[in-house]
Structure 1
Amino acid sequence: MFQFNRNYFALTILLFVMEIAIGLYVHDNFIRPYFGDFLVVILLYCFLKSFVKVSVWVAAALVLLFSFAIESAQYLNLVEKLGLQHSKIAKVVLGNSFAWMDLLAYTLGILAVIIMEKILFKMKG
């Protein structure tokens, strides 16, 4: 089940660098809030596939479920309820504001992954 995949790991690093660049240098109303969320699920998918040998469908479902769980935690103000509102790490990991459009961005990101796997990489599983 555990198997290192250097191609997915390389994509993970590339996407991570892109996310950092977006976070540091892009201050707009589209790329940072929506495209960043679109990319983050692809990043998580690639990270998972870097170390765990699971099907495209299982990996995609796990990442989407995780992303929706984080967004739900934002909806429930979990950071504040846990008393972590002053923790920068908690705010970065859990976020601090719920948005329906984030759920759409996550879904579109996972759909892009599935399409890429199916068309470009001849998806297995």
Structure 2
Amino acid sequence: MTLQLKFDYKNFLIAIFIFLVEVLIATKLKDIFFVRAYLGDVFVVMLMYYFIKAFFEINPTKLIIGVFIFSCLIEFAQYFHFGELMGFKDNRVMMIILGNSFSWGDILFYFVGCLILFLLSKINI
């Protein structure tokens, strides 16, 4: 499998929009538990997917599976306090990116986000 480098404005704009939604969730909607804890997890896999699709021509299903596996690896790394082990304990931004607590619920919502992406890919969005 070879990756073709190809810039796609549509996917890039979708990624920017989702990033702005994530920032809104993290800053303004942070007190609404369901939104911050779970909806953000649905959107983060979508953000990764569309950002990668903005620069590479890649099979959507393979990318969705890759994004899900990557998300799970990051989640499992949280179980072992990877961010702290890497020296990021006092770096608020890195701890937000890496997370700091393992949750099976997060994995469930990564899966939900990937399922939505799979359905959207079937209708070519």
Alpha-carbon distance between aligned partners in 1 of 2:63 and 2:21, rounded to the nearest angstrom:
21
Alpha-carbon distance between aligned partners in 1 of 2:64 and 2:124, rounded to the nearest angstrom:
15
Q: 1:17 aligns with which of 6, 16, 20?
A: 20
Q: Secondary structure at the match of 1:121?
A: coil
Aligned to 2:104: 100
How many residue pairs get matched?
121
**Paired letter, 1:49:** K
**Paired letter, 1:23:** A
1:91 is aligned to 2:90 = no
- CA offsets per residue over residues 50-92 of structure 1, 9 Å max, x none? 0011001111011111111110110111122223211113202
**Paired letter, 1:7:** K
1:116 is aligned to 2:103 = no
Q: What RMSD in Å do the two structures reach over aligned CA positions?
A: 1.2
Q: Secondary structure at the match of 1:116?
A: helix
**Paired letter, 1:29:** F
Q: Secondary structure at the match of 1:30?
A: helix
Alpha-carbon distance between aligned partners in 2 of 1:103 and 1:66, rounded to the nearest angstrom:
11
Alpha-carbon distance between aligned partners in 2 of 1:35 and 1:84, rounded to the nearest angstrom:
25
**Paired letter, 1:84:** F
Alpha-carbon distance between aligned partners in 2 of 1:13 and 1:2, rounded to the nearest angstrom:
19
Aligned to 1:64: 68
Please list every run of 5 or more consecutive structure 1 residues that lacks an aligned counterpart in the other structure. none
What is the TM-score when the length of structure 1 is the normalising length?
0.92
**Paired letter, 2:60:** V
Alpha-carbon distance between aligned partners in 1 of 2:81 and 2:12, rounded to the nearest angstrom:
32
**Paired letter, 1:103:** I
Aligned to 1:7: 10
1:51 is aligned to 2:52 = no
Alpha-carbon distance between aligned partners in 1 of 2:20 and 2:86, rounded to the nearest angstrom:
30
